[in-house]
């Protein structure tokens, strides 16, 4: 069993337990549940940088990236840097994240916030909405076309935007539907965790122009961004490059200034 398969096995157990402890009706009473959504897709359409900066404490491929900084500090730093949006990892076991990280980021910034998670159940979309997220990630590698369709439709009913992540042509083929706002190409193979930015370049022409293109993972140089822009990408999800520093906000600011 590869790491992705194991994550999904564990995620099914986690979601089942959370449903028992906190029914969906509990989250629907959250004060954040009625919060107007801040559109990431609209910001990407008008941004000169397209940077979506990530908060990530650790990952299966790198046991510790940065666990010392508060989410408040990171979120404020990213907003001051002028990023388009913020991605927040909420998986605890493998990434050291928590749903509460969404709430804390929401409290101190006005950025569109993406709940980056292994979403397999509509319940997780309700959680995302109740904790202040504006966008949810759906990963084609772990979902059938039917699941993508039902989850993305549910997200739309909740006024959440959807970033659909693919890694191969086969995944893209099953993911194209009107309820998707953005298509993200993950340069990291989730089964092996190997990273290759050429994945985005190879996939670019296959993504219809109706969708905003987002390149994810392994982006650490200005040249990479410029190359990807040349292939029609408008969004660039950057995590470890900023988070491995003592000041992710300052690193993001310097990076964005270099793009101007």
Catalytic sites, residue numbers: 54, 56, 116, 165, 186, 216-217
What's the token pair of residue 132? 């202040």
Cα 146 to the chain's mean position, in Å? 21
Distance CA 198, CA 115 (A): 26
What's the token pair of residue 158? 């909740």
Which among 251, 257, 252, 259 is positioned nearest to 233, based on CA atoms? 259
Which among 192, 214, 191 is positioned nearest to 203, based on CA atoms? 214
> Is the Cβ–Cβ distance between 113 and 130 less than 8 Å?
no
| Token pair 């369709």: residue | 149
Contacts of 133 (CB under 8 A, 6+ apart): 88, 102, 106, 113, 114, 115, 160
Contacts of 32 (CB under 8 A, 6+ apart): 103, 106, 129, 130, 131, 132
């Amino acid at each position: 069993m590869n790491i992705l398969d194991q994550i999904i096995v564990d995620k099914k157990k986690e979601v089942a337990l959370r449903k028992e402890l906190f029914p969906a009706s509990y989250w629907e009473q959250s004060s954040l549940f009625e919060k107007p959504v801040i559109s990431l897709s609209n910001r990407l359409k008008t941004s000169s940088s397209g940077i979506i900066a990530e908060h990530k404490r650790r990952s299966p491929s790198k046991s510790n990236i940065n666990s010392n900084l508060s989410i408040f500090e990171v979120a404020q730093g990213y907003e001051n840097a002028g990023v388009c949006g913020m991605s927040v990892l909420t998986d605890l076991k493998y990434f050291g994240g928590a749903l509460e990280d969404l709430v804390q980021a929401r409290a101190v910034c006005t950025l569109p916030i993406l709940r980056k998670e292994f979403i397999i159940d509509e319940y997780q979309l309700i959680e995302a909405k109740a904790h202040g997220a504006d966008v949810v990630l759906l990963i084609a590698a772990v979902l059938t076309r039917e699941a993508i369709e039902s989850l993305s439709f549910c997200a739309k009913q909740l006024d959440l935007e959807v970033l659909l992540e693919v890694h191969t042509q086969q995944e893209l083929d099953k993911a194209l539907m009107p309820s998707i706002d953005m298509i993200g190409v993950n340069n990291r193979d989730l089964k092996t965790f190997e990273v290759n930015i050429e994945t985005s370049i190879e996939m670019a022409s296959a993504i219809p122009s109706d969708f905003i293109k987002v390149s994810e993972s392994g982006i650490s140089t200005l040249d990479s961004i410029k190359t990807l822009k040349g292939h029609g990408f408008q969004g660039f999800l950057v995590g470890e490059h900023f988070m491995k520093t003592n000041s992710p906000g300052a690193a993001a600011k310097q990076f964005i200034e270099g793009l101007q």
